[in-house]
């Protein structure tokens, strides 16, 4: 049976590696396009968030290409992400599509049961080896992103995209863990050759918000590269590996390991509000303590956890003196509008930093 999953950042690379090693036939999720979005907007409830509309449109395109099994993570709480699977299943079956849906959520035993059911040649030895390679690919991909966000200041969006694609392809093709270290080293070397030495006057921006919107460039209109091109050093507070550890591993064991962020958020938000709302608040406080010049929050329209977090960010800005900007995106968002707001925000931060240096 042909298995697929939603497109979200570069998640497809480690997942396809994992499934391939376990003998699971995989259909790579189609890239997100305007058609994907239009399909989602057409069939999703009008009030649903942008991530759901993109997931639904992506599933429709995958089913058109022959997918027989849809796979998606689950969850609970105020964030609607935990209900994406059931809602998409209901809509797609009403449209006449035939498929099987697997929702991956704790406990770990439930996830392993799904994998063993789909695998044509499962063994624990193969599973451990495949998981290790897939996990290491995810970690390397995230390290490449961190390097580019912090060192790729001034790099054009097109050149940045070509560089990313070149090395992501190498990661996808890697068959052994030892190959990944060399890829990381070569990426950093080539990146350094493309950009001038970082200027201490470059503004530093922390990026927080809804996980799907932060990780998926199509959803956020390529905001990370736009910030780099405008001369900003970016530090992202959201990475998939952290989400997996917190929700599928520690969460499945009833543990909470994100104590530093939770403690930082305590004066402004004491309990989780679903999604990454608490993390958005905690990371913003931490960025203010680390001499960042500003924080940018990304949220889909109607996202309750990020709406709650946004109100806390207003207090943090007043108390700790760190400028914040919230960008809310939906199907009506335009690249021109986002670019204008980013330019104004970066200009504000640059002027503020220059005044601080002068004084």
pLDDT at 255: 62
In-domain check, residue 281: yes
Residues 210, 115 share a domain: no
Residues 204, 67 share a domain: no
Angle at 145 between CA 6 and CA 167, to 5 degrees: 85
Alpha helices in the chain (DSSP H): 12-21, 34-43, 50-64, 84-94, 108-118, 124-151, 157-173, 177-194, 211-215, 217-220, 223-229, 240-244, 259-265, 277-289, 304-320, 335-358
Residues 233, 349 share a domain: yes
CA distance 266 to 271: 8
Closest CA to 248 of 1, 9, 73: 73
In-domain check, residue 128: no
CA distance 290 to 204: 10
Number of domains, the chain: 2
In-domain check, residue 157: no
Residues 244, 349 share a domain: yes
Give the CA distances from residue 322 to residues 235, 278, 294, in Å, rounded to whole numbers and listed in that order: 15, 18, 6
| Residue 309 contacts residue 287 (beta carbons within 8 Å) | no
CA distance 54 to 88: 11
| Residue 300 contacts residue 49 (beta carbons within 8 Å) | yes
Residues of the chain with pLDDT under 50: none
CA distance 303 to 342: 21
In-domain check, residue 137: no
| Biggest CA pair distance of the chain | 67
> Which of 53, 85, 120 finishes a domain?
120
In-domain check, residue 294: yes
The structure tokens listed for 335 are 């690249």
CA distance 60 to 53: 11
pLDDT at 359: 64
> Which of 95, 120, 145 finishes a domain?
120
> Which of 63, 90, 120 finishes a domain?
120
For 22, residues 6+ apart whose C-beta sits below 8 A from its C-beta are 115, 118, 119, 121, 122, 126, 127, 130
pLDDT at 348: 97
The structure tokens listed for 214 are 């932060």
For 207, residues 6+ apart whose C-beta sits below 8 A from its C-beta are 214, 223, 224, 227, 234, 235, 236, 237, 238, 295, 296, 298
Residues 93, 218 share a domain: no
pLDDT at 77: 67
Count of other CB atoms within 10 angstroms of residue 315: 13
Q: Are strands 69-73 and 100-104 parallel, antiparallel or unpaired?
A: parallel
List the CATH number of the domain containing 53: 3.40.50
In-domain check, residue 350: yes
The structure tokens listed for 152 are 């790729």
List the CATH number of the domain containing 308: 3.40.50.11900
| Residue 83 contacts residue 50 (beta carbons within 8 Å) | no
Domain of residue 251 covers 197-358
pLDDT tens-digit readout, 330-339: 999 999 999 9
Residues 230, 108 share a domain: no
Residues 201, 115 share a domain: no
Residues 330, 211 share a domain: yes
pLDDT at 47: 92
DSSP 30: P
Residues 222, 88 share a domain: no
pLDDT at 243: 85
Residues 205, 77 share a domain: no
pLDDT at 189: 93
pLDDT tens-digit readout, 181-194: 999 999 999 998 98
In-domain check, residue 263: yes
Residues 343, 208 share a domain: yes
Residues 204, 108 share a domain: no
In-domain check, residue 187: no
């Amino acid at each position: 049976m042909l298995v697929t999953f939603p497109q979200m950042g570069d998640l497809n690379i480690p997942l396809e590696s994992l499934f391939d090693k376990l003998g699971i036939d995989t259909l790579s999720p189609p890239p997100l396009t305007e058609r994907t979005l239009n399909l989602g907007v057409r069939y999703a409830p009008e009030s649903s968030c942008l991530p759901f509309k993109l997931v639904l449109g992506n599933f429709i395109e995958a089913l058109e290409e022959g997918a027989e099994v849809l796979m998606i993570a689950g969850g609970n709480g105020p964030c609607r992400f935990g209900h994406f699977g059931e809602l998409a299943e209901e809509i797609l079956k009403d449209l006449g599509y035939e498929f099987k849906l697997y929702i991956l959520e704790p406990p770990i035993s439930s996830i392993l049961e799904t994998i063993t059911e789909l695998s044509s040649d499962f063994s624990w030895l193969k599973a451990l080896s495949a998981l290790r390679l897939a996990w290491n690919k995810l970690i390397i991909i995230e390290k490449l992103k961190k390097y580019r966000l912090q060192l790729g200041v001034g790099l054009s969006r097109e050149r940045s995209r070509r560089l990313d694609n070149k090395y992501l392809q190498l990661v996808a093709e890697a068959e052994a863990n030892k190959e990944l270290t060399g890829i990381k080293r070569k990426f950093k070397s080539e990146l350094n050759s493309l950009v001038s030495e970082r200027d201490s006057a470059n503004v530093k921006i922390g990026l927080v918000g809804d996980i799907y919107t932060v990780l998926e460039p199509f959803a956020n209109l390529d905001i990370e590269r736009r910030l780099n091109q405008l001369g900003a050093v970016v530090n992202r507070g959201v990475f998939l590996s952290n989400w997996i550890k917190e929700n599928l591993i520690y969460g499945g064991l009833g543990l909470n390991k994100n104590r530093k962020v939770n403690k930082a958020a305590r004066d402004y938000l004491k309990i989780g509000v679903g999604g990454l709302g608490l993390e958005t608040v905690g990371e913003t406080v931490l960025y203010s303590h680390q001499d960042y010049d500003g924080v940018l929050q990304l949220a889909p329209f109607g996202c309750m956890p990020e709406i709650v977090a946004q109100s806390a960010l207003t207090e943090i800005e007043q108390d700790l003196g760190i400028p914040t900007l919230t960008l809310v995106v939906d199907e009506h968002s335009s690249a021109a509008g986002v670019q204008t707001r980013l330019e104004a925000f970066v200009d504000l931060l640059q002027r503020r930093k220059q005044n601080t240096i002068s004084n």
